Amino acid sequence: MRELFVQMFRYGKGRIRFVLKHPERFTLETIVPAVFFLTGFTLFLAMHAFSVAEAAFLIFSSVYFAVVFCEGVRINFGHRKHFYFLVPLIILCVHIGLAIGSLTGIFEALFRKPTAARDMPV
């Protein structure tokens, strides 16, 4: 699972670099994982201060996990080996790795000075 997370982290970071070099290739799918992750994280932090945020976080996370579990069942449907609980964990790992990698790429682009030829605009 760790290797998958690292792969998705690198992919998310690389995708941001690619979009920065080629802005015409930007799609909504590029930032959805990062926005989704930030929304959940913000609600998690805010739920300790606001009861509305607690309800929103519970609904947000419940819907997410229900959809991920249903997708895991759908993927497994018709297979001899059933990994109903493993597939949702894999999907979660992919989503979190991609989101954190994308956010890292965005923050590096915003706050880091170009130091190598690969960081220079093309």
In a domain, 122, yes or no: no
Q: Which domain holds residue 103?
A: 2-112
In a domain, 117, yes or no: no
What average pLDDT does the segment 39-52 reach?
A: 90
Q: Is 110 exposed, middle or buried (0-12, 13-18, 19+ CB in 10 A)?
A: exposed
What the block records as the tokens of 48 is 């300790």
Which band of pLDDT confidence, cut at 50, 70 and 90, is reported for residue 75? Answer: confident
In a domain, 80, yes or no: yes
pLDDT at 15 over 80: yes
pTM above 0.85, yes or no: no
In a domain, 118, yes or no: no
In a domain, 100, yes or no: yes
In a domain, 64, yes or no: yes
What average pLDDT does the segment 96-119 reach?
A: 83
Question: What's the confidence (pLDDT) of residue 95?
Answer: 93
In a domain, 16, yes or no: yes
The Cα 41–Cα 69 span in angstroms is 20
pLDDT at 25 over 70: yes
How many domains are contained in the chain? 1
Do 109 and 21 touch, CB atoms closer than 8 A?
A: no
Comparing 20-24, 60-64, 79-83, 90-94, the range with the smallest average pLDDT is: 79-83
In a domain, 47, yes or no: yes
The Cα 16–Cα 26 span in angstroms is 9
